[in-house]
Amino acid sequence: MTEENAIYYCLQCGTNKFKSVRANQFFCESCGFTYFQNIASSVAAIIECRNQILTCVREYDPCKGMMGLPGGFVDREESAELALKREIFEEVRIAVSEMHYVGSFPNVYQYKGVEYHTLDLFFSLRLKEKPQITIGDEIAAIEWIPREEITYEQFAFESMKKGLRRYLNGRSKA
């Protein structure tokens, strides 16, 4: 089914007179209800220690087996910084405090046939020593990759490639 002939049902009254007005806006011709499907926020950490970047092998789809960065979705009532601290701890059991904003990039996240539009915010952290890492259940493995050996094609999402590229091109080697 294409977007032009897709059938949507109103969340308020249940009729099939729920039409797409714009990419993120739907309007019910029957009851007048307007729904906005806004983007989700996501965070990721570029963790560097001794000129190596901490990468994660994704345990699950989307993009199972590809490289990623510690991170995930921002929960309701949560700041990006708090979400990043929580996600880093859940995924690699590292407690962090200081982080630096790298930038944000839009992304499309396909999950079980549903397309989610996200805004992915990237932060960097520099560690003096490699910490003891315990892998969380969303990660198959971790790998420390030297900065100069980062291959963008290995990474699961376009936003990650852009975030890494901005970070690696934006600062000199330590």
Residue pair 41/123 in contact by the 8 Å Cβ criterion: no
Q: Residue 4 above 70 pLDDT?
A: no
Q: Residue 3 above 70 pLDDT?
A: no
Domain boundaries, given as residue ranges, for the chain: 3-36, 40-170
**Closest listed residue to residue 112, CA positions, set 153, 158, 60:** 60
Q: 74: which DSSP letter?
A: P
Q: How confident is the model at residue 115 (pLDDT cuts 50, 70, 90)?
A: confident
Neighbouring residues of 5: CB distance < 8 A, sequence distance ≥ 6: none
- Average pLDDT over the chain reads 91
CATH superfamily of 40-170: Nucleoside Triphosphate Pyrophosphohydrolase (3.90.79.10)
**Closest listed residue to residue 17, CA positions, set 29, 25, 5:** 29
Q: How confident is the model at residue 1 (pLDDT cuts 50, 70, 90)?
A: very low
What CA–CA distance (Å, rounded) separates 8 from 17?
A: 7
**Mean pLDDT across 115-125:** 94
Please give the structure tokens belonging to residue 149.
């050996």
What CA–CA distance (Å, rounded) separates 55 from 52?
A: 9
